[in-house]
Amino acid sequence: MAQTLPNSTITQSVCIGTEDYEIVPALGSTYTWSIIDQNTTAPPLAGEADISPFIGDWYIQVDFTIPGTYVLSVTEQDLNSCQGATVDLTITVNAGSSSTHVVTECDTYTWGDGVTNGDGNVYTSSTNTPIFTIQTVNGCDSVITLDLTINNSSSSTHVVTECDTYTWGDGVTNGDGLTYTSSTNTPTFTTITVNGCDSIITLDLTITASPDPFAGANDTICEGLTYTLSGATNTGNSGAINWTDASGFSLGFSNPGILNPVYTPTISDIAAGSVTLTLEISGSAPCPPESSSVTIIINANPTPGPIWHN
């Protein structure tokens, strides 16, 4: 807004920037403007407080770039070439301020309150454009620019399939060092990355039970008899079943692929007086096969002596 110089000396405060000044013009008069730095009583340096005619010579603009106290003067010469008194205006130019608020945050940042562009906004990416404009005690603007760097946290899923148990490793974690015996997808690791943000790893764990075969308790039979492996059990995960004898063969079994087959001792078993039978049950991946053995003692039948006749 243009400011009119009165016919007496007054004092005014403004902020750094461009200000408009005018004098009420008289018909046929011309006006001469000047400005001095009150501290030096000399004209200010070029660029500090430059006067530019705006409309004729009675309406000007002054571009203040340096804070200080200045005296703006105007002298009128009328159409009769008579010169009037000089009118002075003492102007105190106050500095505003500008600064940059440098922030590094993870994921999001909410800028605070104030008279602002960007007030209360939540930022999820880096930016250097939002500003706060705050009015200082001298009435000038204090402009704060936000220079924001957003570093992103990361999240991932650690997919694991294990047999029977799984112990998760170390770190700053919920679930640190725990041993799991059943499937789960809730434990998390929270580690701090090089940029200071969280790296969250979720465990997606599948626990597969191993087979747990038991071939039965050792037993004794008589020569010439078969043996039903009725004591064999499997309390774990059930896979393919295979019975073998001490030589690794399955010929003596009624069905080596079932849990409780019948075994017929071979001539070599009878001659040896015992046989060790092995039950192996395959596991579901990634579990390996598991096995158990049972030993059958084969007692020779008694052979009566010759019959004598007295």
How far apart are the C-alpha atoms of 195 and 192, rounded to whole Å?
8
Are 7 and 82 part of one and the same domain?
yes
Q: What is the pLDDT of residues 73-108, one digit of tens each?
A: 999 999 999 999 999 999 999 988 888 999 999 999
Q: Do 82 and 119 reside in the same domain of the chain?
A: no
Considering the domain architecture, whether residues 45 and 116 belong to the same structural domain is answered as no
pLDDT at 2 exceeding the cut of 60: no
Residues 164 and 217 in one domain: no
Domain presence at residue 193: yes
- The distance from CA 150 to its chain's CA centroid, rounded to whole angstroms, is 10
Residues spanned by the domain of 224: 213-299
Residue ending a domain, choose from 151, 167, 196: 151
pLDDT over 70 (residue 115): no
Whether 200 and 265 map to the same domain: the answer is no
Instruction: Report yes or no on 307 lying in a domain.
Output: no
- Is 304 a member of any domain? no
Q: Report how far residue 177's alpha carbon sits from residue 261's, in angstroms, rounded to the nearest whole number.
A: 44
Interval 243-253 mean pLDDT: 95
Share of the chain above pLDDT 70, in %: 91
Q: Is residue 308 part of a domain?
A: no
Tens-digit pLDDT profile for residues 4-55 = 555 445 788 999 989 999 999 999 999 999 999 988 888 888 888 898 887 7
Specify the range with the lowest mean pLDDT, choosing from 5-19, 45-59, 127-141, 154-168: 5-19
Q: Higher model confidence: residue 146 or residue 121?
A: 146
pLDDT at 119: 52
Q: How confident is the prediction for the chain on average, in pLDDT?
A: 87
310 occurs within a structural domain: no
Strands (E) across 39-83 are located at: 49-55, 59-64, 68-77
172: in domain: yes
Query: Is the domain of 193 the same as that of 221?
Result: no
The average pLDDT across 153-179 equals: 77
pLDDT grade for 112, boundaries at 50, 70 and 90: low
Measure the CA–CA gap between 143 and 98, rounded to whole angstroms.
Answer: 5
Q: Are residues 227 and 294 in the same domain?
A: yes
CATH code at position 222: 2.60.40.10
* Structural domain count of the chain: 4
Same domain, yes or no: 133 and 164: no
Show which of 45, 75, 94 is a domain's final residue: 94
Are 65 and 14 within one domain? Answer: yes
Buried b (16+ CB within 10 A) or exposed e, 240-254: ebbbbbbeeebebbe
| pLDDT confidence bin for 309, thresholds 50/70/90 | confident
- The strand ranges marked E within 65-130 are 68-77, 87-94, 97-106, 109-110, 116-117, 122-123
Q: Verify that 107 and 87 share a domain, yes or no.
A: no
Q: Identify whether 241 is part of a domain.
A: yes
Domain check: are 11 and 86 in the same one?
yes
Which CATH number is 69's domain given?
A: 2.60.40.2020
- Both 140 and 185 in one domain: the answer is no
pLDDT tens by residue, 210-219: 999 999 999 9
Asked whether residue 203 is domain-assigned, the answer is: yes
Domain end point (choices 94, 111, 138):
94
